[in-house]
Amino acid sequence: MSKNTKTPKALQGLFQGAASKAREAVEEVRQQIAETRHEREALATAPLTKAEAAERIQAWLDAEAKRARLDLMAGEFAAPGRGPGHPFRVPVRAGEQRSADLGPIIAALFPDQVREALLAALPDDAGAIAMTDRPGRLAELDARVRDLERQEETLIEEAEAAGVEITRRSDANPDAILAVEYPDAAEA
């Protein structure tokens, strides 16, 4: 037997080594997909900056104060006849609701105090990401996931062509699979 001739055991080891490398390559890409998805989720759910939160607080206070309708309550004091009655009484219908929403009255009467209390309770900006910075970065991460999924599918198909079966993820993107199988259709 010549030195260039491999024994069946040697060939089997060679094939097993190649199959193992193919599976490792797919797992490496899958890990990158998972990490990129995690980064995307962290970005999408990151807290707003204090400035943005303050804008939301002010918008909420303004909306709540409008709901208070102090103009109608004040009108009761100017109405002839019965007098003001109970302008701050919030009617609660029996069987429907057991609590009254005093937010509008509080927001209308004490906006500065409510604003300051809410602003003081905000966490610091650590980890905060401005909403204006998110769309571009989210799009970049989405594109990276798509590219990684195409890489994964290419590796799986190359492994299959070499006789190595690698199971696709249950959440594999059908677009990525089809883009590799039918690249002309994906470009259209």
Structure confidence by residue, pLDDT tens digits, 131-162: 999 999 999 999 999 999 999 999 999 999 88
Query: Does residue 78 lie in a domain region?
Result: no
Query: Does residue 12 lie in a domain region?
Result: yes
Structure tokens at 36: 């990129």
Mean pLDDT of the chain: 84
Domain that holds residue 152: 7-46+129-188
Query: Does residue 96 lie in a domain region?
Result: no
Could you give the angle at the alpha carbon of 139 between the alpha carbons of 138 and 144, nearest 5°? Answer: 95
More confident residue, 120 or 91: 120
Query: Does residue 178 lie in a domain region?
Result: yes
Query: Does residue 153 lie in a domain region?
Result: yes
Structure tokens at 177: 């699979």
> Are the C-beta atoms of 115 and 58 separated by less than 8 Å?
yes
Q: State the pTM of this model.
A: 0.67
CA nearest to 46, candidates 130, 124, 150: 130
Alpha-carbon gap, residue 65 to 111, rounded angstroms: 8
In the chain, the number of structural domains is 1
Alpha-carbon gap, residue 21 to 12, rounded angstroms: 14
Query: Does residue 56 lie in a domain region?
Result: no
